[in-house]
Structure 1
Amino acid sequence: MVSRFRGQFMSKRSVTVLMGGPDAERDVSISSGIAVTKALQQSNKFDVKSMIIDTPTLQEIENIKSDVIFPVLHGPFGEGGPLQELLEVAGKTFVGSSSDVATTAMDKEATKQIALQLGIQTPHWCIVSTNSLPTINPPLVLKPIDDGSSIDIFICMHQEDVESHVQSLLQNRSHILAETYIKGREVTVGIICGKALPIVEIIPPADLQSYDFEAKYEREDTQFIIDPDLPSNSCVASALDLYKKMGIRDIARVDFILNENGAWLLELNTMPGFTNHSLVPMAAKQSGIEMPELCTMLVDSATTS
């Protein structure tokens, strides 16, 4: 039934999908944004526009005339707080977490500290700067503190690898994170509107050490097993605990390594991808939620939260 008001048809809600941004994951964001735009159009419930952005000013954000903004950006600016702050200052309703929450979630060290408060184990870590080498011994993992999509992640089995990759990473960053390498099964838990989706296990190609950028977006031989046969574990409970404790809104994806010692938190993403390789849409589909319904749920959540 079509809703009416004073005898007139009510217009569809308007949604603007933002994509792009200045971060290293710009191309991934554009692919995700195109997929979200198509899904919302297919739902036939919204007037949908899309915009590829760089680093917008407050005035440019204020000029967007839509009921809801769906910012499908990945990385420090688009996912880690600055864009969300602009949207808040401009008084916009948007999909995803608030700026404060997004800032905390993008910071891998802050997320790990919250996990420990909740009793969730996470690999031991230290912060490395130009004046310090890691205080933990290899094998270890070096990664940016505030990036995603496995950008610039290196698994170092030997000390000479550590020294080489530390120098490389610190050319463009003041600090990086080093954490103990945990060998095990890579799994992820997607959360939509506070409810967990089926676990997805990721099996990278044999010639790759981990689920890195190449395995995520460039290879077709990465295996994804939805609702895999796993030993009893705390992944879903831990993911939901983090989601609630951190005040995350609408959507998240929480990554773990699972081995004989249990589940180890790696990181949390507040705006995971929506490409044809992305894990949240994959898990949602397994639950009977196709992309148009998934994106509609997120827009609806943004307008009611």
Structure 2
Amino acid sequence: MSSETSTPSPAGGRKPRVAVVFGGRSSEHAISVVTAGAVLSAIDRTKYDVLPIGITADGRWALTADDPERMAIAERRLPSVDDLAESADGGVLLPVDPTSREVVYTEPGAVPKALGDVDVVFPMLHGPYGEDGTLQGLLELSGVPYVGSGVLASAVGMDKEYMKRVFTSFGLPVGPYEVIRPREWENDPAAARKKVVEFAAEHGWPLFVKPARAGSSFGISKVDDPAGLDEAIEEARRHDPKIIVEALLRGREIECGVLEFEDGPRASVPAEIPPVTAHDFYDFEAKYIDSASGIVPAPLTEEQTARVRELAVRAFDAASCEGLVRADFFLLDSGEFVINEINTMPGFTPISMYPRMWQESGVSYPELVDRLIQAALRRSTGLR
């Protein structure tokens, strides 16, 4: 598939300027840095000017080194924006006036320095305070185009409870789940615990206890009996006060990428995540440290492949997504597909499942990055 070329050019004939924003305040800070490093390596510098902006773990926006090698996981050490920031005190300010796209750099005791206009933001943040609609809302107010889904779709894609409610309302199959809201656990943990035990009596042990609004498998526990429930809930609450409890679905883990083309969203070939023998489930260590690898394309029948691709596009449309989505499914032993969740800003390194699925579908990694930037440049900001 060839890259799209009908992108409007900035005034004056200059190259479009792309601000790659990464890091952030969530527990997925390091994964965001790794993802941004891969994107910085792939952006065509003959076609775009690039401005790397990192958000530290405490929320400071920093001008960072444009050095993808320092943004990779090295010897099991996770990178951070603090290691890349050009100054420990300097800060980057996005425009707050929709009539201006000029980015400004400030340092204590110094005159603010204009860094020039930004034409599009590539937000590589994962998790809360970035992937959940908060950054998207800021960019909408600023009038700056950006890659990926808007405020509503980003928020829905981050909250596992409301994501499942949206899917159900659109007739998409989801697995059994229960929610523990913050006040339930804080005011009456015994009642919340009883609710989960009753859920397990109906659907069986083990259960998966998860933060409702987190990713990269942070805070997830597999619970085999009531004795492990409190510890699992407290672990999940370290990442999010709202908890979702899911029944174990017996089957194969299948993923499918969705990418927005000019004529609408299309699905990639699907992939399969095989069982991980060194881990209890596909957790953070398996994904990012030990680099457990998926199978692309997934060994499915033609009918199964067509079905999961159809469901992936339906999920993309149900949540009003834009740009890109990775949709995760279970293929049950009964032969039915059940959607587990979508990720509106999936892992994006060249070895991540989303780019690998599109590589197998005929879109190379650099083409994928370029296609997303061009789609964002064509899209106007405002209500979506």
Cα offset for 1:168? 3.1
State the distance in 2 between where 1:105 and 1:260 align. 27
Q: Is the 8 A contact 2:252 2:272 kept in 1?
A: yes
State the distance in 2 between where 1:171 and 1:40 align. 36
Other-structure match for 2:163: 111
Other-structure match for 1:186: 253
Is the alpha carbon distance of 1:32 and 1:86 closer, same or farther for their aligned partners in structure 2, counting shifts above 3 Å? same
Other-structure match for 1:289: 363
Q: Is the 8 A contact 1:136 1:179 kept in 2?
A: no
State the distance in 2 between where 1:127 and 1:244 align. 25
Other-structure match for 2:207: 140
Other-structure match for 1:267: 341
Cα offset for 1:41? 3.3
SS at match of 2:130: helix
Q: Is the 8 A contact 2:207 2:223 kept in 1?
A: yes
Other-structure match for 1:60: 93
State the distance in 2 between where 1:170 and 1:252 align. 26
Please list every run of 5 or more consecutive structure 1 residues that lacks an aligned counterpart in the other structure: none
The answer to whether the aligner puts 1:177 opposite 2:234 as a matched pair is no
Other-structure match for 1:74: 126
Equivalent position amino acid for 2:93 in 1: E
The answer to whether the aligner puts 1:225 opposite 2:295 as a matched pair is yes
Cα offset for 1:9? 8.2
Q: Which has the larger radius of gyration?
A: 2
The answer to whether the aligner puts 1:159 opposite 2:226 as a matched pair is yes
Cα offset for 1:253? 0.5
State the distance in 1 between where 2:224 and 2:338 align. 19
Cα offset for 1:238? 1.3
Question: Aligned residues, how many?
Answer: 297
Equivalent position amino acid for 1:219 in 2: D
Q: Once superposed, which parts of structure 1, at least 4 consecutive aligned residues long, lie more than 6 Å away?
A: none
Other-structure match for 1:11: 14
Q: Is the 8 A contact 2:254 2:298 kept in 1?
A: no
Q: Is the 8 A contact 1:216 1:277 kept in 2?
A: no
Is the alpha carbon distance of 1:250 and 1:263 closer, same or farther for their aligned partners in structure 2, counting shifts above 3 Å? same
State the distance in 1 between where 2:49 and 2:378 align. 19
Equivalent position amino acid for 2:325 in 1: A
The answer to whether the aligner puts 1:87 opposite 2:139 as a matched pair is yes
Cα offset for 1:161? 2.1
Other-structure match for 1:45: 47
SS at match of 1:208: coil
The counterpart of 2:326, out of the listed 237, 249, 253, is 253
State the distance in 1 between where 2:29 and 2:241 align. 22
Is the alpha carbon distance of 1:180 and 1:236 closer, same or farther for their aligned partners in structure 2, counting shifts above 3 Å? same
Cα offset for 1:250? 0.4
Q: Is the 8 A contact 2:172 2:315 kept in 1?
A: no
SS at match of 1:301: helix
SS at match of 1:114: helix
Is the alpha carbon distance of 1:95 and 1:171 closer, same or farther for their aligned partners in structure 2, counting shifts above 3 Å? closer
Other-structure match for 2:154: 102
Q: Which deviates more, 244-253 or 203-212?
A: 203-212
Cα offset for 1:56? 5.6
Q: Is the 8 A contact 2:206 2:248 kept in 1?
A: yes
Deviations 1:265-288 (A, max 9, x none): 111111111124311111111123
Cα offset for 1:33? 0.6
Other-structure match for 2:75: none
Cα offset for 1:162? 2.2
Other-structure match for 2:37: 34
State the distance in 1 between where 2:282 and 2:314 align. 24
State the distance in 2 between where 1:171 and 1:150 align. 13
Please list every run of 5 or more consecutive structure 2 residues that lacks an aligned counterpart in the other structure: 1-5, 62-91, 96-101, 104-116, 380-384
State the distance in 1 between where 2:28 and 2:34 align. 10
State the distance in 2 between where 1:276 and 1:126 align. 35
Equivalent position amino acid for 2:254 in 1: V
Other-structure match for 2:84: none
Cα offset for 1:109? 0.8
Cα offset for 1:119? 2.1
State the distance in 2 between where 1:172 and 1:32 align. 21
State the distance in 2 between where 1:31 and 1:178 align. 29
Q: Which deviates more, 88-97 or 267-276?
A: 267-276
Cα offset for 1:31? 0.8
Cα offset for 1:83? 0.8
Is the alpha carbon distance of 1:173 and 1:11 closer, same or farther for their aligned partners in structure 2, counting shifts above 3 Å? closer
Q: Percent identity?
A: 30
Cα offset for 1:260? 2.2
Q: Which deviates more, 256-265 or 227-236?
A: 227-236
Deviations 1:145-200 (A, max 9, x none): 11111111112122212233123333554220001111211111111111111101
Equivalent position amino acid for 1:223 in 2: S
